[in-house]
Amino acid sequence: MEEYMLPCLNKKYLGFECMGCGIQRSAALLLKGEFIDAFYMYPGIYPLIALLGFLLVNQFITIKYANKTIIFLAILTVSTIIVSYLIKILN
């Protein structure tokens, strides 16, 4: 599976990682059952899964306050990705 992963073009051509670097490897670690390693690889994976899961469920079931929940999960996901990226590049 790892041999089919796409390289980060930003890192390859510009020399620094993008905010999405590590998401493929993190998903591969999740599929292997290595949940803690997946978090360390890409901390935004769990809020992203929660957001996508909620969006999927919301397509089939009417949920009261769905818009507020989606906004909250989106802000949580984006802020987690940005904070973890800043921590990564500042170290």
For residue 9, CA distances in Å to 12, 16, 17 come to: 5, 10, 9
Q: How many residues are there in the chain?
A: 91
Which pLDDT tens digits describe the chain residue by residue (91 residues)?
A: 677 888 888 888 888 888 888 899 999 999 999 999 999 999 999 999 999 999 999 999 999 999 999 999 999 999 999 999 999 889 8
pTM to 2 decimal places: 0.84
Burial class, 29, CB count within 10 angstroms (exposed 0-12 / middle 13-18 / buried 19+): buried
Domain of residue 35, residue span: 2-90
Comparing CA positions, the residue from 73, 10, 8 lying closest to residue 81 is 73
Q: How many domains does the chain have?
A: 1
- How confident is the model at residue 11, as a pLDDT? 81
